[in-house]
Amino acid sequence: MSRKKIRKANAGKSSGDSSSMPQIRLPKDALAKINLGQSFAEYDRILLRPGVFVKTPATEAASDPSRSKCFFVGRRGTGKTAIAMHLSARHPTAIALHPQAFNAISMLVTIPIDKLRDVNQRPFRSLIACFQRALEDEVLLEWIKCGLTTFDQLPSGLRAERNYLEQCDFDLRILEFVDKVVEPLLKGDEKEWLKQLSKAKQIRRALDDCAVDQRFHRIVTIDRIDDSWDGSDHAVVFLMALMHACIELSSSVEYIRPLLFLRENIFERVRQIDNEFARVETCVVSLDWTEELLIEMIERRLQLPLNPKPRIGETWDYFFEQMDGKSSRPLVFEYCQRRPRDVLTYCELAIDAAQSKRHEKVLIEDFQDARHRFSDSRFKDLCDEYSENFPQLQLVLSRFHGLGREFTLPGIDTFIKKLLVDDDIRVQCEWVYSYTTPDTFVKWLFGIGFVGIRRKGHDRVDFRSLGARSSIAPTLDATASVVVHPTFVEALGLQDKVVGSLDETISLQAQGLLIDLPEAIDLKGYQDSLNHLLKQIKQIERGTEQQAEFEDWVGEVVRLCFFRALTNLAPQQRDFEGRVRRDWIAANRAQAGFWEMVRGRYQATQVLVECKNYSELQASDFHQVVYYMTKPIGTFAVLVFRGEIENHYYGHIKRIASDKGGDGMVLMLTERDMLVFIRQSLNGRVKESHIQDIYDRTVRAIS
């Protein structure tokens, strides 16, 4: 038989019998080369590599302008930032905004919250107009940057915006516009108020005349809304105004498509107060994930170092040991809540365990070894996620420690009674008194994803899904039981039993749980110290006379807010020759996240913090910082001052980076940024997205 006939016969055999297809054999060191990337999209460089991003229904909705969807809502870790990054990568002209002005707006707007929150009244309509104008200006600025027009070519209706475009970023622009609209409203100056209110419409009409073709169309992604706000009712109202501005812009013009990415718990707060919420809800997309999509996400990352690559759907079993002859996928998906960050983190921890033991595959024992680390991480993450809605949430959930995995409703009733007489709960968690009946308490626990509901006689437990409309618990009856999600079992040391009641001799306690606090300080003392810092900065006058007081204040902020990553903080540090003095220096011992990236990127085993108790930085301030950068310490420093960041400051940072061979960075933090860190710590939040955002802006500005 000729070779041609043999190839033809083999081809026919392969197409008719899939079992005869050649199997890919992985090299022995294949697992050692695997890196699934970061579970936080803002740190994940792998996410931008070709073929890694997984398209979901939410991604399709964001990419399709005909869908008229503005709001993408999901729990933490469901891919909001990943979609925003994907859109920016696909559309180079996309505009990415991370607003931080919500706290500052509340200082300008002194209108009572009752009058401000009504969607149809003047104060709220004024806020909508301000956000519309700020978004319109952002698009106009992008047109100019891209060379689609120039300031000289602009019609007269747009030339007046030049100062706002050149001198203000999005946040400062918002503050300016709110100030101009609210002041005449408070004074009763109808003429001036109407004049300012009509500005957004005038600018929109002028933009309509300029946007002659598709080149002028822009996507505006608005993400990380909650990074720098205080969670007050005023902040929620301002967010609500931004949402209505997005709806009106999206429906009235084609060349501006705002897409707002929101955490579900923030979205729920808007739902509670918006008397026109039906209008908002029609524009919402939930970030839901199926098991198939989550498997594809992991497999695409596993395939990266392989050539040839196994097929999607088969890759999992090449790397993960089977369980009783079947895929080990249920071991992951019955343990994790079905969102990408959870699955990615758990698989990464299991791979780390396998790599440390030099296994050629991830074995079942590696998954078991990873459980406790993953459970601790998820427990802290849950408390962080809902810290704004329920401050010090970890105190309540930690009281389950050492009890059972499953509770009857009478068991929950006795738990609540013990909880309500706990001194720490009474002082720190007053909100818990809104959930004092078994029915309301269980529905609340279900809504945050801590428990599920089991019907009598059924093995299946109904846990909540991830969508924005899925937080309502199933109807409870006397026969139902409450099951703590498997994710939290190891962290809380739960026993494999059903709790029907709690004896009077049993006291609720959190033994074995580590509530992160710096340097042997209790929770009350920690909060008192943070509140003292908020008051103290108001008493420190700007200038050289109180430079030492400002340095001490900055040092305390670093010590109390960054203790998880930055340790061994030392003031006024000199080298062994007594020549080089740095205001503060801290050891960088981060194992993950932003500070771990800083240590790897800039070799920053130590982090320098320079403090300037004045508003305007000079070239000498940057020269001083770069003098402190040395090879043993690293080439990363933080410069804290009391003004606003000016564009020309970035020129100094760019020169520093150039002098250090591209590996030097000075991160500027303002007084406002430091206050954000304090407020986040008061709420028990463990977040680095705010400082990551500042870093990202700096990198883009000097690139």
**What digits encode the pLDDT tens for the residues 306-327?**
888 888 888 998 899 988 888 8
**Tens digits of residue pLDDT in 593-641:** 788 888 888 888 899 999 999 999 999 888 888 888 887 888 899 999 9
The reported pLDDT for the residue numbered 647 is: 87
Q: How many CA atoms lie within 13 A of 677 on its CB side?
A: 23
Report the topology of domain 523-702: Restriction Endonuclease (3.40.91)
Write down the pTM of the prediction.
Answer: 0.72
- pLDDT for 342 beyond 80: yes
Question: How far apart are the two ends of the chain, measured CA to CA in Å?
Answer: 64
What pLDDT, on a 0 to 100 scale, did the predictor assign at position 514?
Answer: 41
Return mean pLDDT, the chain.
84
Which pLDDT does position 573 carry in this prediction?
55
- pLDDT tens, position by position, 666-692: 999 999 889 888 888 877 665 677 888
User: Hey, where are the domains in the chain?
Assistant: 3-43+290-385, 96-282, 394-499, 523-702
Name 434's Cβ contacts closer than 8 Å, sequence gap at least 6.
440
What are the DSSP calls for 560-577, one per residue? HHSTTTEEEEEEEEE-TT
Q: How confident is residue 528, by pLDDT bands cut at 50, 70 and 90?
A: confident
Q: Shortest CA distance to 607 belongs to which of 559, 652, 676?
A: 559
Q: How far apart are CA 65 and CA 471, in angstroms?
A: 29
pLDDT of residue 583: 82
Confidence of residue 391 (pLDDT cuts 50, 70, 90): confident
Question: In this structure, what DSSP letter does residue 17 have?
Answer: -
Structure tokens at 605: 């085993």
Residue with tokens 């050289």, as numbered in its chain: 544
Q: What pLDDT was estimated at residue 181?
A: 87
Number of neighbouring beta carbons within 10 Å of residue 285: 24
Return the residue matching tokens 């950068």. Answer: 629
Handedness of CA 584, 589, 593, 597 (dihedral sign): positive
Q: State residue 269's pLDDT score.
A: 86
Q: How far is CA 97 from CA 88, 222, 242, 281, in A?
A: 11, 5, 12, 22
- Please state, in angstroms and rounded to a whole number, the distance separating the CA atoms of residues 481 and 237: 38
Q: Does the pLDDT at position 305 exceed 90?
A: no
pLDDT tens per residue, range 46-60: 888 888 899 999 999
- Does residue 569 register a pLDDT over 70? yes
